[in-house]
Homo-oligomer: A and B are copies of this chain.
Amino acid sequence: MSSKIAVIGLGSMGYGIAQSALRAGNTTHGFDINPDAVSRFSGEGGAPGGLSDVAGTLDVVAVVVLNAPQTEAVLFGSDGIVAKMKAGAVVVACATVPPEFARRMEARCSEAGVHYLDAPISGGSVKAASGKLSIMASGKAEAFAAARPFLDATAETVFELGEAAGAGSAMKAVNQLLAGVHIAAMAEAMTFGMTQGVSPETFAKVIPRCAGSSWMLENRAPHIVAGDYTPHSSVDIWPKDLGIVLDIAKSAKFGAPLTAAALQQFLAASGSGLGAEDDAAVAKVYARNAGLKLPGEG
């Protein structure tokens, strides 16, 4: 079954998501503050019309922006879309946000007769473009049902985490805690190894076959070996996402010392001008502090 879908936010994740929704046969609109992204998507077959004009026709509004304030602005800002949506349509909120924020957005959408799916995404831009994301979703059965054509088009795996908005965002926060810590740990271990004569190449060959491996290590260590910091996922994601984790943790009076330590390393990377590089560039902070030269450095 095809739907009328709008994807709001055509960044590295949103653009791929819009492509996947379109490829699956849905009428798909793409919107962004960057007009180039919008016209590029139109050129690939995106449906025409301004957001205000088409809002009332949409079945699914996927919000693929950076964070909670941007999500709230899209939904309930001065020109917010929820007030214009038809009853029974669904907002699919994909940004990494605090669980409490998701619950609040759901309540406000519900007042307007619109369903809300708390649906943070995982997998990176390549999987977004191929329709193979992991989505950590929670919401009422009606929200899942209304979102189904969108989920089918964009996700390989949908974790259905219950009826309560916030559960999806909670699981995403847990996953981001681990992913961020594991990237920093990979960088720490690889550069520590260099001080002991273990080359990055040997590290990347041996450790994935040992108990010290992680998904992030297997994915990111090759970037350092290749000296290639093209941002698949950038350093600046982590001060944001680990910041969300620590905000939530603080509200729950939960101490998270490893997360806090990892955040400091990403802040040092961002503060020293590496924010737009691939997140594996956190290794440069360690290397600089230890007087080491990573592969590809002069």
Q: Once the chains bind, are B171 and A198 in contact (CB under 8 Å)? A: yes
Q: Once the chains bind, are A257 and B211 in contact (CB under 8 Å)? A: no
User: Which of B161, B214, B256, B291 contacts A178, CB < 8 Å?
Assistant: B214
Residues of A within 8 A of B (CB-CB), count: 69
Q: Once the chains bind, are A188 and B259 in contact (CB under 8 Å)? A: yes
Give the docked Cα–Cα distance between A213 and B181 (Å): 11
Give the docked Cα–Cα distance between A289 and B255 (Å): 8
- Among A99, A159, A182, the most chain B Cβ lie within 10 Å of the Cβ of A182
- Given the known inter-chain contacts A185-B185, A252-B196, A254-B191, please indicate yes or no for A122 contacting B210, CB distance below 8 A: yes
Please name all residues of chain B whose beta carbon is closer than 8 Å to the beta carbon of A191 when the two chains form the complex.
254
A129 at the interface (CB under 8 A from B): no
- Given the known inter-chain contacts A171-B193, A261-B257, please indicate yes or no for A209 contacting B134, CB distance below 8 A: yes
Give the docked Cα–Cα distance between A158 and B123 (Å): 33
Q: Once the chains bind, are A182 and B99 in contact (CB under 8 Å)? A: no
Which residue of chain B has the shortest Cβ distance to A249 in the bound complex?
B192
Q: Once the chains bind, are B212 and A192 in contact (CB under 8 Å)? A: no
Give the docked Cα–Cα distance between A161 and B205 (Å): 11
Give the docked Cα–Cα distance between A215 and B186 (Å): 13
A-B contact pairs, 16 of them (CB 8 A): A171-B198, A174-B189, A174-B203, A177-B212, A181-B188, A182-B185, A185-B185, A188-B258, A192-B259, A195-B254, A212-B216, A214-B214, A214-B217, A252-B290, A255-B286, A258-B262
Which residues in A have some Cβ–Cβ distance to B below 8 Å? Answer: 99, 122-123, 134, 136, 157, 159, 161, 164, 166-167, 170-171, 173-179, 181-182, 184-186, 188-193, 195-198, 202-203, 206-207, 209-217, 219, 245, 248-249, 252-262, 264-265, 286, 289-291
9 closest residue pairs by CB, A with B: A178-B212, A170-B196, A214-B214, A195-B252, A175-B212, A174-B193, A257-B261, A261-B261, A181-B185
